[in-house]
Copies of this chain bind each other. A is one copy, B any other.
Amino acid sequence: MDRKFIEKVMTASEAVEQFVSSGSIVGIGGQTIGRCSMALAHEIVRQNKQNLILVGCSMSISMDLMVGAGLVSRTECGTGNVESFGATMRWRRAVEEGKLEVRDFSHLSMAFRFLAGSLGLPFMPTKSMLGTDLISESGVNSDSYIVMDNPWQNNDPVVLLKALNPDVSIIHAQKADKYGNVVIEGFKTHEIEMAKASTHVLVTCEEIIDSDEIRSDPSLTTIPYIYVDAVILQKWGGYPTSVYHHYVHDADHISLYQKVARVGGMEYQKYLDDYVYGCKNFDEYLSKVLDSSSKNSLIQEMDSLLE
């Protein structure tokens, strides 16, 4: 949230250094195997930011990577999910071993918490989660919700969800201009509300576009510059997840990640060493895992789906 109309283009390294702190509440963009903010997740791991609280809806391997690197003290989300590739395995193990605090919500409830945050409201009401263990289980979420009676109708309990304002959100988008006007194409999940609720927003993008393009079609701007602190040009910044209009997910690399995440230990550590700590930036990681022919095939598969 740098409200000024100034140029905000920087590197991922600069952005994470400046806006992510140990202890930060970090909003996680993307969903399952689509448009995850992988480049920024790598950079946060590289910079070893500790005791993070990760919040989002469907959190996937960007979250799992930070959990696997031992940086996360709590997650608040709807799922830890890599779809057909399974659960987020480092997260799952950490929860099973009691090493990670989790607060479970439904996806809509998480989105409503961000909506409240984005509107400066203390809370949002919902009728979701009533009657289930999501609100009765052990009271772990109890500082995030209360149940009240609908003042206009008898016997109509309503859940009030406390607003959630991340310290910083990380998002990968298709386009942004240098001032931080962001265009997300395709599904937008919870990211607009989450970004607008956040104190800082860091955006990697496949392409930096001229502001004239934004101003010539102002209905397309998904996040205006007043919410955005850093714009990072990072082609393939969502890899190995898919980015609509650019490339599909890389099933091979996701499977490789899931394999080492399932095993954990030295094998997982080697993945981190080879692909995160051992790379000075995301481009170096990309150069290790993607040659031009695999790039082309991921691009071509996307193209084939776009007609």
Contacts and interface: CB of A to CB of B under 8 A. Distances in A.
Given A127-B120, A220-B219, A151 B160 contact: yes
A281 interface: no
Interface in A178-194: 185
Nearest to A144: B152
A158 interface: yes
B126 A125 contact: no
Interface in A129-148: 146, 148
Given A185-B219, A220-B219, A122 B150 contact: yes
A156 interface: yes
Task: Please state the number of chain copies in the assembly.
Answer: 2
A123 interface: yes
A103 to B, nearest CB: 15
A153 interface: yes
B146 A123 contact: no
A249 interface: no
B125 A122 contact: yes
A153 B120 CA distance: 14
Size category, A interface: 20 to 34
A42 interface: no
A120 B127 CA distance: 9
A152 B122 contact: yes
Given A120-B127, A121-B124, A151-B160, 6 more contacts: A122-B125, A122-B152, A122-B156, A122-B158, A124-B125, A146-B151
Contact of A126 (B121, B126, B127): B121
B122 A123 contact: no
Contacts of A121: 124-127
A152 B148 CA distance: 13
A35 interface: no
Nearest to A216: B307
A46 interface: no
A162 interface: yes
Contacts of A158: 122-123
Interface in A106-125: 116, 120-125
Contacts of A150: 122-123
9 contacts: A120-B127, A121-B125, A122-B125, A122-B152, A122-B158, A123-B150, A123-B151, A123-B158, A125-B125
A121 B115 CA distance: 13
